Each structure stands twice: as C-alpha cells, then as structure tokens.
Amino acid sequence: MRRFIPSTSCLIAFDTSARHMSFTKAANELHMTQGAVSRQVAILEEYLNVKLFERINRRLILTEAGRDYAAQVSTILKQIEMATFQVMTYNSLASVLNLAILPTFGVKWLIPRLAKFAAAYPDVLLNLSTEVLPFDFNTRQVDAAIHFGEPDWPDTVMVRLMGEEVVPVCSKALAEGLGSVGDLANVTLLQHTTRPQAWQDWFRHVGVDCPNALSGPRFEQLAMVIQAAVAGMGVALMPKFMVETEISLGQLHVPFPLAVKSPQSYYLVYPEKNAGKAAILKFREWILSEAQGG
C-alpha cells in the first residue's frame, strides 16, 4: 500500500523554517542556500496541495494549516531522531532503558546516585527524560517512569519506592518574622501545581486553621518552588530530602520542625508488557535497594 509521506528533506526544511520563521535562518542551520530551502517547502506545499506559509509585510507567517502541521511534524521528527539514536546504541553490547523522571526528584535524589548504578550495571545504557504527570506509554519512547502519587496508573506495574516527609521552609528573613505556626496563615504560601492540597493537609495535621491554605503563587516544578523560597517570595512546603543542601548552606530555614508524612509515595512504573525486560529488572533491583537505604 502506498504511503502518503513526503520526503524527509522537505519535512526538515519546513520544520526548520517554521521554528525560525525564516528561510534564510533555516538555510544557515541546514547548511543550504535560502533558495534550496524555499524550493523544498514549495515542493511540500505542492505535494500537500496546501499553502503552509504566507508573506506579510516581508515577514514569513505560518497559515492555520501550517501551524497545525508544524506542531505535528516537529513531534514526529523528534521521535524519529530518538528512535534512530536508540537503534544506533545496538552497535554496542549495552541494553537500553529509557526512563522518564520527575525533574526535581531526578536532580536532587536520583542523578547523584546514578554513578553507582552505572558501576553495578555497565551493560545498561540509561537515558533520562522528564514527565511531570502520568502519560500513555504507547505514545512515548519510554520504558519506565518515576511517579509520585497514588498507585493508580492503568495497565502498568507500580513498585513503591519510598514515602516522604514535608516541612515548611523559607528564607532567614521570613523565618525570623514567624513567632508561631499560626503566623503561617498570614504569609505567602508557595504552591506546587501537582500538589494543590499539600498545605491544606499539612495545616490539618498540625492542628492549625488556615483559610488561605490553597492560595499563593503556583509553580509547575518543585525546583521552582525551592528557588522561590530561597528568593524570599514566601514559605514552601517541601520534602525534607529535597532541601537538605539548601538548609545546610543556610539558604533555607525550617521555622517550625513539624514534619508531616505525605499521603502519597514515589513509584517505579512500567507497562505490563515490559515486566520481563532485563534492563528494567536490573534498575528495579538497584533503585529499591537505594530507596530502602535512604
């Protein structure tokens, strides 16, 4: 069956031009002439019978169809590139494990330990990417993921790694102005988008009424919350293990050492079809050992 797939040369020329909104800049990146890039895009438009670009006031503008196509083409080209790199690794003896991690958990806990994994399993090539929320493994080039939350990811194996305790942290100046836990109800509370009820749960556990527990600026990543707290923007509720460095350096202070256990946990997650994959089994054994060691 004939496939309706344009040439990759045309797609790359279009993708690069759409990113730069310029045939000239695209030509510089691709080491081609401006005319050659323009011709590749013209061939693609002829193939599709759709106009992808307009020139308005001597500027290159994507049409509505061009915007939609550019978004999809960019994603597909990245997937092809990743698949190509992965296949190229088969020239070595290493097995490949593509792992999606939570950004701050990766930087603060996992990556500092990975030298030990590499030493223990030199035959496993570990590739890392970031995902904040659960996703469909069928649509990603990912073998496994680190997840924080409930064990409710459909069609997967979920291995609990560890829980966490959270404590309030803030800059020294803010800490000095707090006399009692109740004072937290009157300061800016820094919020994390994927843990919207964290402050509310913490106040309930310590027995303090805070009508504004859900209020405050929201950040997508815990690393952003940490930096906002260091900058004095407000008080953050953070897992203790993620702020040990900042506390030891005096960048953050714990105004009230009231640690509360989070109701959720960290999990290693992988699709059921990957349950027998050697690289996953090796990583599972190693990370469980690390998590149990603290």
Please report how the helices 34-48 and 23-30 are oriented relative to each other, as an axis angle in degrees rounded to 10. 110
What is the token pair recorded at 127?
């590739």
pLDDT reading at 18 higher than 80: yes
Q: What is the CATH number of domain 92-163+265-293?
A: 3.40.190.10
Sorted by sequence, the CB contacts under 8 Å of residue 181 that are 6+ apart come out as 206, 208, 256, 258
Assigned token pair, 224? 């952003």
Q: Same CATH fold, 92-163+265-293 and 8-88? A: no
Q: What is the structure's pLDDT at 43?
A: 95
Domain chopping of the chain, boundaries: 8-88, 92-163+265-293, 165-261
Alpha carbons 272 and 283: distance in angstroms, whole number: 16
As a whole number, mean pLDDT of residues 221-244 equals: 96
User: Which pLDDT tens digit goes with each residue over 44-64?
Assistant: 999 999 999 998 888 899 999
Confirm or reject CATH 3.20.20.70 for domain 165-261, answering yes or no: no
CATH topology classification for 8-88: Arc Repressor Mutant, subunit A (1.10.10)
User: How confident is the model at residue 293, as a pLDDT?
Assistant: 80
- Do 160 and 292 touch, CB atoms closer than 8 A? no
Q: Looking at residue 90, what is its pLDDT? A: 59
